[in-house]
Amino acid sequence: MPAFPTAYISAYATACLVALVLIIGRRDSIELFRREYWVLLLQPWKVVTFLVAGGGLVAIVPWASRNDYTWDYVDATFMSVLTFATAPWAVGTLYRALRRQTSLANAYVAACVWMFSASWSYDLWLLARDGEYPPTWAANIIASSCLYLPAGMLWSLAWRPERGMHFAFSEPDWPRPAPPVPFRKLAPVAAVLMLLAGAQIVPFLL
């Protein structure tokens, strides 16, 4: 294996180990592990849009793989699941860190979770599948992050009578349970975010 990928793997393996230690020590302060976060995430409209988006990424593998040999059923599936499970928390935590509403330690964990979900897991799968580090690793960080960010924003959309539409992570006591919301109230912004994400896929189909 070339020296640079070896050094890169060592660096992010170390970063993930540090993040794991922080998770063990700070689990109670990390919203990703709270029941309330999962209650918010598993609202019916979010599950339905995930099944549509994730199913679409898997369904187009035969066409997308013609232009990108790294795109297969395995990484399309696990990256979709990781994005749905973690992006709303990671995006929200980094937003709150910028506003000094959460700790830098939590922000560090969120950054590692983002990178693992959007990049490092993909790299390791292709290393195991092909026996060599994917030359697309750097381009994938940008491409996958351009999907991860709008996905985190999409599945963080919320609506309350006193605030109207907003991102759930902007609430002081996030992730507090939210009352059921008709999807039509969120549909215009949700459609824009889904189109932004979908636009990243089109070049792989042409």
Per-residue pLDDT in tens (0 to 9) along the chain, 206 residues = 555 688 899 999 999 999 999 999 999 999 999 999 999 999 999 999 999 999 999 999 998 888 889 999 999 999 999 999 999 999 999 999 999 999 999 999 999 999 999 999 999 999 999 999 999 999 999 999 999 999 999 999 999 888 889 999 999 999 987 777 888 889 999 999 988 887 777 766 66
Q: Yes or no: say if 49 and 154 are a contact pair by the CB < 8 Å rule.
A: yes
Pair of tokens at residue 127: 């290393």
Q: What CA–CA distance (Å, rounded) separates 124 from 132?
A: 9
Q: What is the residue range of 108's domain?
A: 3-205
pTM score, whole prediction: 0.92
Q: Helix or strand or coil: residue 165? A: strand
Could you give the angle at which helices 44-59 and 73-98 cross, rounded to 10 degrees?
A: 140
How many independent structural domains does the chain possess? 1
